[in-house]
Amino acid sequence: MDAFPITTPAGILAALSGVCAFFFWLEKRTQWQLFQYLPPLIFIYLAPVILSNSGVVPTASDTYTWMKNLMLPMMLVLLLLNVNVGAAVRVLGRGVGVMLFGTLGVVLGAPIGLLIVRGWMGPDAWKAFGTLAGSWIGGTGNMAAVGEMIDASGADIGLAVFGDAVIYLIWLPVLLSSKKFASWFASYTGVDEARVQKMEAAAAAEYAESKPVQTSDYLCLLSIALLTTWFADVSSSRLPEIEPYLSASTWKILLVTSIGIGLSFTGLSTIPGSHELGMALVYLYVARMGAVADLSDVADQAVPFVVGAMVWIFIHGAFCLLGAKLLKVDVHTAAIASAANIGGAASAPIVASHHKESLVPASILMALIGYAVGNFAAYLAALLCRWVS
């Protein structure tokens, strides 16, 4: 495959963006049920792994470094700009509290899962667990961000993506089938029977048609993302490094996250197109993660990692049940809250549409809250994993 390698920046970006576009086209064109259980994200990661390991694209390039330094913080800002905590609370009420219970389950479940399997894994396994915590609290963007914060290797990220895919295949059917137990769940939690009707009414009142995106909107969004990235670059280099907890990269991601959350409370959050543009960069960055992945050590650690992740996901589920019981929440909200953690903005609408179609917009709002807390909470989970390892 060395006869025609792709090594120029334009060629590498064309290959990676082409992979992203192809799998979304394939999903839309075929409507295969497969993509509900194995979303395009998985293939967008795996295809560049094959391309780089077969010599079509390089495994190391200045283009990848540029993407990490510029694209990663930009996508975080764009995603966080769309967070609307107030709307989520108005619609889902105590459901947001259940989601945060689930987040706590992810944070505490990570070190417990690692503790059980650490004897079968390498000394840096905590980085794979920490990286997966980013995905299970916020989403793919947070997974990339936390991986950068803790300097996760390609093998660590590969384990995280593999574990995420396997657990998703198990957990999504659990969340979907939970609808059958709505009556039992209501009895268990003592939820008010009128709660679901109130949520649907609040969702209808909150929902508004999105404005069409203009050229000026994209320019404004790019300027906000670039300005924030520049500020974080300059500021992080001047902040004290506290090894091994706060490196310059960690400071940069924390600054970008904090600024993005702050901007979401301003009028800038009303600019349309931020979520779509941010997600486009996320998928392109996932393709970059696949291209630089070294999966030589993944096979030996895949089984114990999945076992640890299985323990971990059931701890998360137990915390969701506890939160639903204490806060008196219905099964629909509890399932959406778990999906907002584990699957993020890609999976929460799938679960919401199965339980209550009217809650789909609210499920996206809840998932966006995960973007806001994901980097902080997942970094804490990574530090706890480092401690137990």
Model pLDDT for residues 238-274, shown as the tens digit of each residue: 888 887 678 888 899 999 999 999 998 999 988 999 9
1 in any annotated domain:
no
Residue 346 C-beta-side C-alpha neighbours within 13 Å = 24
CB 287 within 8 A of CB 19: yes
Q: Is 47 helix (H, G, I), strand (E, B) or coil?
A: helix
Q: Which amino acid, residue 5?
A: P
Q: Is residue 36 in a domain?
A: no
Can you give the C-alpha Rg of the chain in angstroms? 20
**Rounded to two decimals, what is the model's pTM?**
0.86
> Above 90 in pLDDT, residue 195?
no
Instruction: Give the span between the Cα atoms of 247 and 207, in whole angstroms.
Output: 41
Contact between 292 and 89 (Cβ < 8 Å): no
Lookup result for tokens 């940069």: 252
Comparing 339 with 200, which gets the higher pLDDT? 339
Residue 386 has pLDDT above 90, yes or no: yes
Q: Which residues are CB-contacts of 207 (< 8 A; sequence separation ≥ 6)?
A: 361
Residues whose CB falls within 8 Å of the CB of residue 139, separated by 6 or more in sequence, listed in order:
79, 282, 343, 344, 345, 346, 367, 370, 371, 374
Read off the pLDDT band of 54 (50, 70, 90): confident
Number of domains in the chain: 1
Rounded to 5 degrees, φ, ψ at 246 are -130, 95
pLDDT for position 215? 93
> Over 70: is that where the pLDDT of 229 sits?
yes
Residue 35 within a domain:
no
In this predicted structure, the answer to whether residue 1 has a pLDDT above a threshold of 50 is: no
Q: Does residue 278 form part of some domain?
A: yes
Between 142 and 2, whose confidence is greater?
142
Q: Say what the pLDDT of residue 203 is.
A: 64
Identify whether 28 is part of a domain: no
| Cβ atoms of 231 and 257 closer than 8 Å | no
Please state which of the ranges 28-37, 151-160, 317-326 shows the lowest mean pLDDT: 28-37
Q: Give the three-class secondary structure for 246.
A: strand
Cα angle 6, 10, 12; round to 5: 45
Burial (CB < 10 A; 0-12, 13-18, 19+), residue 250, is buried
| 108 pLDDT tier (thresholds 50, 70, 90) | very high
Count of CB atoms situated within 10 Å of the CB of 111 = 25
Contact call for residues 370 and 142 (beta carbons, < 8 A): yes
In a domain, 59, yes or no: no
- How crowded is residue 35: how many other Cβ atoms within 10 Å of its Cβ? 18
Instruction: Say yes or no to pLDDT of 25 above 90.
Output: yes
150 located within any domain:
yes
> Count H helices, E strands: the chain?
19, 0
Q: What is the pLDDT of residues 286-303, one digit of tens each?
A: 899 889 887 666 777 889
pLDDT (average), residues 80-94: 79
In a domain, 277, yes or no: yes
Structural domain range at position 192: 68-204+214-388
The pLDDT value recorded for residue 90 is 77
